[in-house]
Structure 1
Amino acid sequence: MEDLHTEIHRITNCPYTPSLKKLHDILQNVDTGLLQLWARGNPCQIDAIAVIVLEALELWPFTLDVLKIMASIPSFRNAAVQQKPMLLETLFTNATDSKSGFEKYTAVCVALLSTPLECATPSEVPVFLLKCLEKAVQSLSPETIRPVYLLLSGVESSYLDILPFDILSSLQSQMIEVLTQIDSDDHLASLLCLAVLAKFASRPGIMEQSQPNVQSFPKDENGPESADRFLPARKFFSSKKAPKTLDLVVLKVITACSQSCQLGTDEIVESLKLSREIVDAFDKKEICFWQAGNVGKTKKLYAKILRPGIEAKVQCEALNFLVALSAGDLLLPEVIPSLKSYLLTSKADVLSTNAIEQCIVLLEDVSICELLDSLLALACAKLHPCRESLTKIDHALRLITIFMERIPTSSKLLKTVLQFISSKVVSDMLRQYAFQAQGPLRSGFVHCHSTIDVCPLLYREAQVRLHHSLVLMFLESALYASECGCHFDASMMTLLLGKTYLQSPAQPASTECTQRRPTNLIKPRVSLFEAVSTPRVDSVSLNWRDGLIRELSRDVDCRYEGVIRIIGEICRDLELRCNETELPLREEQSRSRDLQARMESSERNKAELEFQAQNHQSALNALEIERDRLANQIEATERRLKELGTSLDNIHQEFDHAKIEAERAAQAAIESARQQDLAYLATMTRKDEILEEQCLKLATAENHVKNLEHELDRVRGLEANKAERLNDSEAHIETLNSAISASECLVKDLQNELVQTKGRDASNTAKISNNETLIQELNSTIGAVNEASDQNRSLISTLKDQIREAEIERSEMQSQHQTFVSAKDAEIERLNESNRSSNDKWQSELEAARSRAAAANEQSAATIAGLHNKVRKLRKEREERAREFAKAQELSGRLMSLMGTNKHQTSSHGAQSRTPGHSERDLPSSDANSSDLPAAKSYTPSASSRAPKRIKRHLDSRTPTTCATKSLNPMTTSKEYRRSTMRVGRVPLADLGSMQGPGSLTPQNPRHQEHHTPKTEGAGEVPTQNDQAHHRFDSDAESFGGGDIFTSTDQQQLSAFHCKLPRHDYDETTTEF
């Protein structure tokens, strides 16, 4: 941006039309937003740069690219069209008529017509639009459809009604085909097609449209009416297809805002702008209906727009799309922080007015107070004039305008502003602001465009507007507060009113920016070559002297302009030669910069390699520490395994001991049970006889016995799978059988014994079950110990394998690191050696280049010295020519005075005659009017001139010759004054201009020249105007190549001048030659 400002300042201050090559190279890398930002801060340079670009169009072909890029600034485009009204017609004619120049001029024409014109639209626009449509129909792509969209955005849409129907129909069908392709991956092509269809659909129907007042094409006889021309486009925005179209647009926006989007930033911004324009073409009811049925897509859209890491420009355009998609409804609160962060920054240029209004409405009271505080602080601050300060002021003015529009309609905003004004801190700041001196506003800035990057007058006007708008907003808020019943400090309001009174009258600017060039430039005078060859002579007054003076003045002006033009061409040629001469130096400098960059990159690579080596070393140290830690862990694991083995052996021993003890206890229990069984069997056998004897007595107990048998059978079925319980059951059955055979008297004893036996059996069964449970627990413990030992063995083996792998990997990494370090050391040494050698080489080459540059500078200095010598020769020669012209003027004056005397003698025969001495006495003295003396004497015949032989008449002061001489003197004086004031601004040739003035054409010492005037016998005719023009053409055609520049020497010209003068004899009878 600084290079652009410096180059434009150089171009606008150059006295001739300079080369725009550097500006062309700068504009290739400048963003359109930065260019418009420069134009907003420097409007005074727009007219000057427009004039220079238009003049350079005839000199360099690359100026067309400069015009195309600068046409994105509307003020530049309007200035260019105002300076050259036929510019658009010429470009359109070149684009439509030439066979190969359409692509060359299309971009320039589209850039000039992308925004509405302030002047009348050229007549060639329909033809150009038709050709663009034909190109788009032949191959539909973003490159061919974008010019159509830009033209439809800039020119009137009524041109669509006069285009041929077949071209419009084929274009719409191809666009619909592109939109209906499911696998179409061209993001911009789809949105451009939809945007063009939206332009088509915005045309009114046949009942609404009026007859267009533009040039029309021949209508198609078979074509339908105007209402049917855009029917395919209207279908996409109808209520039937509107949801699908909105789905497509929203999906395109979600794709553009996603992190995986492959498009560039400019393409994403362009797609978001197209999407917003497409949404604006829908009815609000359709948008609300789509929002009600697509809540999930809306949430996803919000998530994509508010994702972290998104660029600010893309997010601002996406927020504008959200505002357009909301159709007047309020946005979600999650959007407000993002909008608030862009309000007073340069990104606020992208935000629309509706987005800022919604942000202000949704802001909290604290945020609104902070915003108002920042506006007041900006107004109180004394900022240096710069582009950033001007941008802040512009955004502050925009916010104040929105505040003033929303305060009457929003009670919340009005209440917040009133609370802000009522606070003590703000009241003190308002008092300070009201008492603030108006120094910067009254005195202005003395800076110029070379020190700041904005126009100082524009910055001052922006400050005045900011102060006035801020005070007006506070006063309106106080007015609304008084209507609501609130009261404020009257003194503060009085101060604000006084400040408003001081600022409100628009004081006329006494100074104008030095960079502003007037648009109504004065047309140059018609040169002598363009005028008639013979001067116009008034038949009544016979003022041929005035005509001669005008022709001589015009001749001098033409010569002066020719010299200026030639010097401008010489300067341009010298500029190009300097660029060509400095080209090797710039190449060497670029090579040096490249080598320096390569050296710096090598040093960075070296530092990175050293850092990587340090990282590898630290990684190796970390691996060694990890290895030691693993070794310690393995040792601890081995110790733990040994302890576990010892405890396992102890558990095995305890288990074996417990098993043996359990077996012994079981054998003892079994033996004791067997012994008891044997004892019971002996007792039962002994008592069988007793039982048999008591059978009758036990008849009553048979039923009971049967029940016991059934109980024994059930117990047998339950204890069939257990051998120990079966033996106990058999013993119990035998006991019961013995009890059955007992006598009736012993039944109770047997029952008691049976109860005791059951108790013992239960205790034995419990012991056996406890032993079985203990055995099962021991088995499970053994299994768990075995599993733990297996896991420990597998863990030990795995750890050993990891240790082996870590050692292998460590050895490999050590070997790789050593190899890598050695290779990188060798490479670094090689790079250092090559860098040293290349540095030595380039230093030698730089020394050679410096010597060549010094030689070139010396040569250019010698050339410039030669040019100065030629200019000095030119000045000397022009002085000599001035002296020659003065002599010729003196001769012509004498001849004319003599002719005037003769005519007077023939017209008045009774006139009185005087002597030459008496004539000289009648002339005014030098003290009376010294300014008229040289001219009078130059036209008065001297004593040395040839007089008539018959009679010598005295010149009367009232003769026509004397009157003409006196009348010529004030004209000569006025001409000198006009000459002195004509070329005040031309500094380089001021001394030449002074030499060419009328004062230099008259002799400085008239008396001395009067005595040395040549005789009339040797005098001849004065060279005519054609001879002078022919000699001027010869002098202008010469170059600076060698010898004299314009004419020959004064001796040759003087001899040729005397040779051309014919000799005449004086006839005394007729008083004529």
Structure 2
Amino acid sequence: MEQLAQLVREVERVVTAPYVPSLQGLYDLLQQGCLSSIELWALCKPCQVGLIADVLVDALSRSRVAAPLIAAFASTRAARDAILERHPVILDNFLEKAVNGESEYDSACIAFFKSPLPDGFVPPARIAVFISKLVSAMVANPCVDTVAPIHALIAGLKGSPRVLDDIPTETMSGLQTEFTKTLRNLDDHMGNILCLSTFAQIATARLAEPHNQHGSERQWLLNIRHFFGPKRGIKTLDLVVLRVILACSSSCNLGPQDAATSIRLAVDIADAIEPAQKQAWVASNSAKISKLCEKAAKDGLDHGIQKMAIVFLHALLPAQSLSSQLRGLGLRTLLSNDSHETLELISPQLITRLAGSLATTGEPATREIVAFVLGTFKGSEWKNMQSLATLRLAHLVLAGLRELDLEATGFNLNSSINPLRQAVGETIEHFPRTPSESQCSNSAICTSQLCMMQNRLFLSLMALYNTFSLKKNGGDIMMESFLFKVEDSLPDVRCGFSTTSPASHGGSFSLPETSRSSSTRIDRNWRAGITNVFMQNAQTHHDNMMRKIEETCFDLERRCEDVEGPLRIVEEERDRYALEAQHLRERTEELIKELKEKSDEVDAARRTSSEHLTEFGHEHTRLEQLLQEQYSHRDDLMRSIETLRFDLQEQQNRSENAIVSERDKNRSKELELMATITAKDDQVEELQEELVKMRSMYEQTCQTLAQASEENSNARETSGSLELELAGATQSLERFKLMNAENEDRISDLVGLTAQKDDQISLLLAREQDLRKELGSLETSVEQQASEHEKLQSAFQQSEVRSQAEIEKLNREAENQASRTANQISKQKAENQRLQADMQAAALEAANDAQSKDKRIHHLERKVQALRDERAAKAREFSEAQQHIGRLMGVMGFSSNAPESTPKHQRTRSNPYQTPAARSPQPISEDEDEDEDETQPQSSQYMPTGPTPKRPRSNHKTTAARAPSASSATMIRKSPPAATRSARRPLAAAAGNSPAKIPSSSGWKSSQVGAVPDTPAQENVAENRLQNLDLDMDLEFSKEFLFSSTAFTGSNERAEGQ
């Protein structure tokens, strides 16, 4: 009530402001919970509905809250009609924006269609497109939020069947198909009820002849009506009743308001079911009906849910078939003191229907309803909001009474007509009532509306009185037409707000006209002139001030709406970014710590990898065996679990079969006992009826006896007084005595008969006691069987729980074992990966070391070969010198001592002081040359083409020239030791560059051949052999020696070339 008062004050402030008002306060008030009070506000202040409509439409271009406010007020039919009457194009504009993707206008469009469109209003053509958009949104996200708008729109269009007929068949067919899919797939209480209620609204709409161009019924409409017809009507009603029972139970997951709304939707669905299907369901589902009645009458149930459950029961079943408790709850629901809550919760059509249903239960309910209406009419003198709501409720209740068929009910209406006649007689002299104020400013209600509702309620009471009189005394049929004439001729009492136009309501001010007279004319009334000037200046200042106030209001509203929003967004983003930065810093620190820990772990792993490398193979094998054992153990566990599950299933099936059979036996015994009890009850009732009859006969006999005794006493008195006077009447006296004797005999017979009946009654009572004892024993046996059944069921549940616990335990053990095994496997895999990575790193490092050593060896070999070549050159020079000396000695006469018989090719001179390093190798054969050519690409990759690090760049040509000799030396080292050697030639016939090969040098070179690294194992052998050599032998020669030897060799080569 307080929210309604705040809404009334805020709306009045907006419509009476002398300038363009701010709508933010009204919007905030509606957001706080006053949205449901708009209907009651329109009831209390109908004079301001048109004004607020103009203000909201005018503010659409200036305020962002105008569209949501229009959507809120358009949900009320009076405000919606006022908006469409004054601005008919607004609905089409809203539909255009909604269809073009501006979703904020969807709620406004749906609000315009929540109630039937006004008569004469031409519906826009975009309705079908808007429905298709809503259906597409529901298909994309099927839920309550997307189904509810379509339901609200279809429920409003139900009252405008012409609009539904104009919607294309493709649109309605798509709606029916998608709603059927949603109803089949959506597992939601509220969503299913909304889908069925939407189909119910379409099925009960008064559409045109449902035929297509081929003459057959439209398929989409036929599919919808299948839900409520013979095909699926019983299933639909069964589902709806179950949903209502769930809404009334404590296990429902909906809120009280949503639960009450679902029951209200269930009423619409139940109304759409065909009567034959409804009767068939009621006849075969007495258990569900009793369950629903029990839930509805339960104490502690929410008032809103209980009221809607009572309404649903009265809509589903005849009121006479309900219990007195439910009928009493229905009366308390209808005649509640809180009229506001009743009007918000129950629609007007359901209130009228509930009143008519309760009135059919009997004359007491009708009398109570009439008393409520009369009390409301008499107490409506208080000018407050509660009086208007109560008047509205009384008018709806009275409409339900007027629809009652009194001839079919056959009630005695004497107790209801008398107070009605008295109330009509008391208030007819004050009819019609007129308001005391012309405008309802600063008032909670509109007095004109109050007077109008009081006059209409009085006319309704007159019509009801005429109906009751027509039932009792024939009434006056002309009275009805007279009442209609009176209602049409009532004075049109309007509030001052209703006649206020928006232009004059704005409080605009007109500027005074400036004087157009000649300035030369002298005005003698200077005081009046000064007064006019002051008045004009004051008016101008007032207009400027009002304009400044308006601009200030606009600026304030713009700042409040436009400035604070981005600032709040920026602050929220700043806080969010700061929080994210803090989280990131913390995460970075954690990652750094983890990185350090991981690096330490990696170092430790690297240190320990060499130790674990040898143990890895055995551990891996052991883990594989363990894994195989775990797999086999898991398979055994799975087989045992399957066996246990199969045994448990068999045991459960046997238990279920035993329970079913026991339940059937108990049910059959219970039915037999119920039949026996029913027969016994019938016998008891018959005996009680006979007892009642006997008692009535006994009472009649006692009355006859008393009358006879009185007559006897009177006769005796009369005979005593008339003995002296009527002596001649002896015969008549004797006859009278005879008659008295006969009466006494009859009385004695009746007394005997009464004694016999008393005996029969005592026998019947004893038999009844025996039957009650037998019934008690049967009930005891039934209770014992029920307890045994419960014990069996509890034992079965305990065994099932134990079996389930064992199965879960086994599953957990198997899962734990599998997880442990998986963890060990993952750890071992990780360890293997780390070890493999370490092994790869070690292998790579070893390969790099071997490559570097190989390069070092080849480098040293090249140096050694260069030194050998130099020494061979020196040896050739020395041999040439010896030959030259020999020739000189021969010329000088020293050749006579030499043996002439020796061939020239066998003459050799040996130097006993020649070292093996100075001896030159023999020439290589042709086969060896071919092998050298074949292996040249393989050996070339290890020989750099540039100068050695210890030779100057000027000697590059000499190095290139000596490369073939180095290759030849390499091939000699690779050649087998048993290779054929060429014959030795004389020194004079030998070439200058082909010195004789010394065996010791070739033997040394052959020993070096085995030092060539071919495999990693041979690398170690070669490396061990090279350790015995002086790898730094190049340091033994100085730079001068190398340069001199190189220069000497070069000069010698040039000399040989010449």
Shorter-chain-normalised TM-score: which range?
A: 0.3 to 0.5
More helix by share: 2
TM-score by length of 1: 0.43
Larger Rg: 2
